[in-house]
Structure 1
């Protein structure tokens, strides 16, 4: 082999260092989540999980908040993030936007039988049909549990929100829906049962004033999704890290409690066909 001149050796060394820098720069897993709760609550939930994933994957993990549900969809579709926490409807939207390139990895065990609740302060409202002529708040327009599925069950009950209600509002988030109902801004609201139960447990809602009058049947909901362009080995490692979370360890217990999960279980695109059908039926997809 011919010997390299000092200049060529220096140039080659520089190129190798630059390449190493690129690889190192890519060793960051970027994570986001639909903003279905307040930014402070989302950040609180994300912290321990990001720390856990860093240790399991051996890469830096960064949580990046987004302003709305549509932004969460676009960031994963355009590969500006690597991992996204979606509701069932946002997963369906992202999968459609990407031409079928979004892969759901895992969902909470609770998400295999998720439900929504309708709440009110009005003693005259006891059933869905009592909502006729009333004001109702959903969460975000792209929310599965705060809009799509509640709307689907209203339609099944023979109620068209735009025709049968006095006014339809969108609060933007589940906790904001509860606040709107409690403040009397609307007479009823629909939201995620998990957030409702957490607010009740934390004493952040007066159940003597605000009550649940209807709980929906079950459906599949939230999941952690990635883009199909993620290397298969990293995708599998990430999936296994999430599946390995256990309440039997202090770390796992902290993460799972913040995620309001018993454990994570594998999921698949077929689980969300019902949500896709509901979205198309409601004219939302």
Structure 2
């Protein structure tokens, strides 16, 4: 525990200032250790990606060492499981996408707060939605998709549902009438495979590790291509939206402040304390965590509110 906890402690002061939380002084008391026997964190499970499996184990081991106590990860096969786990207080922390956090914020407000988000070496803290078609498709642009079928990822997916629908409306396109048929695939992996199998004419997928101008190096398409399940050349991006604020490490604010500060510091120290592991789990060289608060996700919170208003008005998914 010594080295990581010491490093985490040094980082806490700076992170508190950056996050705008300096008014709450960390508790010097260790009494919370007598009340909390293990730290619980919720994450979205995806055993299709070995990097994500490895990442979960690295996070667990790193936090356990830094905190000097067991860390238990609760995996959910869908977005809603993580949302409900942190909203109900069943877990102390969670890794959650912006759309999921907006859902949590609507349910419990400031009982859950964002702490950290990944930042790339160039300073970017976001990723993209990509409308993907099969390479052999006659569709060359978004306009060509009118009347054709589209697969969304999940209602609680930021890049696979919430953000691209808002972006389409900003372009004067009603996503509820523009496409011939829409449905949910249930996950990014499922959306890729459904597109490959011809269930949809196009799918909305997450894309990262680049920009629309430079191309992307990460995302479900790249992951499945690395595993040999699809050929990346069999697909083509015809439209993008973004950048979208990246996922957040969030905390229940009713947990001891000293615990929150230690976890925040330990996670922020990971790319510096364990640089080899950081890149091994798929993080880009030069990337790290940066402190955030609710304001970082305000756009997503507003978009979710607008989407709910659209649905109440009779729109279809």
1:4-24 deviations in Å (ceiling 9; x for gaps): xxxxxxxxxxxxxxxxxx966
Question: 1:63 pairs with 73, 76, 92, which one?
Answer: 73
Alignment of 1:64-103 (within 5 A): 64-103=74-113
Q: Could you tell me which residue of structure 2 aligns to residue 258 of structure 1?
A: 281
Question: 1:113 pairs with 96, 121, 126, which one?
Answer: 126
Question: 1:52 pairs with 58, 62, 68, which one?
Answer: 62
Does residue 182 of structure 1 match 2:196?
A: yes
Alpha-carbon distance between aligned partners in 1 of 2:35 and 2:256, rounded to the nearest angstrom: 16
Q: Which secondary structure does the structure 2 equivalent of 1:31 belong to?
A: strand
1:235-256 deviations in Å (ceiling 9; x for gaps): 111111111122x65x343245
Alpha-carbon distance between aligned partners in 2 of 1:25 and 1:47, rounded to the nearest angstrom: 25
1:74-112 deviations in Å (ceiling 9; x for gaps): 111111111111100111111221132111110011472
> Which ranges of structure 2 fall in alignment gaps of 5 or more residues?
1-31, 209-218, 312-317
CA RMSD of aligned residues (A): 2.3
Q: Could you tell me which residue of structure 2 aligns to residue 153 of structure 1?
A: 167
Alpha-carbon distance between aligned partners in 2 of 1:259 and 1:29, rounded to the nearest angstrom: 24
1:241-285 deviations in Å (ceiling 9; x for gaps): 111122x65x34324542535211111110111111211222269
Q: Which moved more, 1:129-138 or 1:200-209?
A: 200-209
Q: Which secondary structure does the structure 1 equivalent of 2:168 belong to?
A: helix
Q: Could you tell me which residue of structure 2 aligns to residue 141 of structure 1?
A: 155
Alignment of 1:1-285 (within 5 A): 26-35=36-45, 37-38=46-47, 41=50, 42-110=52-120, 112-121=125-134, 122-194=136-208, 195=219, 196-246=221-271, 251-258=274-281, 260=283, 262-283=287-308
Q: 1:57 to 1:46 in 2, by over 3 A?
A: same
Does the CA-based 8 Å contact 1:181-1:210 persist in structure 2?
Answer: no
Q: TM-score, normalised by structure 1?
A: 0.83
Greater relative contact order structure (CA < 8 Å, 6+ sep)? 2
Does the CA-based 8 Å contact 2:102-2:301 persist in structure 1?
Answer: yes
Larger radius of gyration: 1
Q: Could you tell me which residue of structure 1 aligns to residue 10 of structure 2?
A: none
> Which ranges of structure 1 fall in alignment gaps of 5 or more residues?
1-21
For residue 30 of structure 1, report the CA deviation from its aligned partner.
0.9
For residue 60 of structure 1, report the CA deviation from its aligned partner.
0.2
Q: Could you tell me which residue of structure 2 aligns to residue 11 of structure 1?
A: none
